[in-house]
């Protein structure tokens, strides 16, 4: 890839990739703690979370939505003209992901968790976040399915070798998790394959952070490189 980007695009792309990596890894650690029963639940992927578990799990997940959306917009700016159709599709599906999961997690953190903590769940049963068996869990799975589609399209932007190939492979791998994410509602053990997200997604975002860090930039749209070199 030889496309040069503005310093602003480079900065937003780099920091959104770094933040997406940090938030995703924070979620992975929290999810492992939840499955081991360290956050007050009964452990395993089918146990409902406690208010503590919801807070620890969903706070980084909420911020991940916005950082991922900023990242795919940055990828769109990075894309060469003949590849922008793919990056634009990534932005569209990334937007759907961010809206859906942000709604789910904000409702959980501001409405559901406080009510559970006070034992006042009457009237909000529809909004309880029960793995594999609740309305908002299905919405959450739909959101992450859209994320997989977004990363699959974003992979089409990167056609080079070296670091670009690493980015492309991680993004494609994350995209290929789509059926295991979307269909786990019907066959729960699929969650163990979907859990590979803990590798494919942070791998994608961290390699993207390195790529944006190395990206060549322009001054006032002149096309003259001011720093770095595209890998």
pLDDT beyond 80 at 82: yes
Q: Is residue 160 part of a domain?
A: yes
176-201: per-residue pLDDT in tens?
A: 999 999 999 999 999 999 999 999 99
- Is residue 204 predicted with pLDDT exceeding 90? yes
155 with 168: CB under 8 angstroms?
yes
User: What is the pLDDT confidence band of residue 217, given thresholds at 50, 70 and 90?
Assistant: confident
pLDDT 10s digits, 47-66: 888 999 999 999 999 999 99
**In a domain? residue 224:** no
> Per the structure, how many domains does the chain have?
1
pLDDT given for residue 18 in this prediction: 98
The reported pLDDT for the residue numbered 231 is 38
Cα 11 versus chain centre, distance: 19
Residue 134 makes CB contacts below 8 A (sequence gap 6+) with 128
- Structural domain contains residue 64: yes
Instruction: Note whether residue 219 is domain-resident.
Output: no
169 in a structural domain = yes
Q: Is residue 229 part of a domain?
A: no
Q: Residue 225: inside a domain, yes or no?
A: no
DSSP 222: -
Query: Angle of helix 135-154 relative to helix 197-214, nearest 10 degrees?
Result: 40
Burial call 192-227: b when 16+ CB within 10 Å, e when fewer: eebbebbebbbbbbbbbbbbbeebbbbeeeeeeeee
- Per the domain annotation, does 220 fall within a domain? no
Q: Residue 26 CB: number of other CB atoms within 10 A?
A: 17
Q: Say what the pTM is.
A: 0.91
For 38-42, 74-78, 147-151, which range has the lowest pLDDT when averaged over its residues? 38-42
pLDDT for the residue numbered 197: 98
To the nearest 10 degrees (0 to 180), the angle between helices 51-78 and 84-107 is 160
Range of the domain at 142: 7-214
């Amino acid at each position: 890839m030889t496309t040069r980007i503005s310093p602003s695009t480079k900065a937003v792309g780099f920091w959104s990739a770094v933040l997406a990596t940090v938030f995703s890894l924070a979620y992975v650690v929290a999810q492992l703690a939840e499955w081991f029963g360290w956050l007050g639940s009964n452990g395993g992927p089918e146990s409902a979370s406690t208010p503590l578990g919801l807070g620890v799990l969903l706070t980084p997940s909420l911020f991940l939505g916005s950082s991922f959306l900023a990242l795919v917009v940055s990828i769109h700016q990075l894309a060469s003209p003949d590849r922008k159709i793919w990056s634009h599709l990534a932005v569209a599906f990334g937007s759907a992901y961010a809206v859906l999961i942000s709604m789910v997690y904000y409702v959980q953190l501001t409405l559901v968790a406080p009510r559970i903590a006070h034992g006042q769940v009457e009237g909000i049963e529809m909004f309880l976040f029960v793995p594999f068996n609740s309305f908002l869990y299905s919405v959450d799975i739909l959101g992450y399915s859209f994320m997989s589609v977004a990363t699959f399209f974003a992979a089409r932007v990167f056609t080079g070798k070296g670091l670009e190939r690493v980015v492309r492979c991680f993004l494609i791998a994350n995209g290929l998790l789509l059926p295991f994410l979307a269909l786990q509602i019907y066959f729960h053990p699929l969650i163990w394959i979907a859990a590979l997200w803990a590798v494919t997604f942070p791998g994608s975002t961290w390699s993207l952070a390195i790529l944006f860090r190395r990206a060549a930039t322009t001054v006032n749209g002149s096309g003259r490189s001011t720093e770095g070199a595209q890998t």
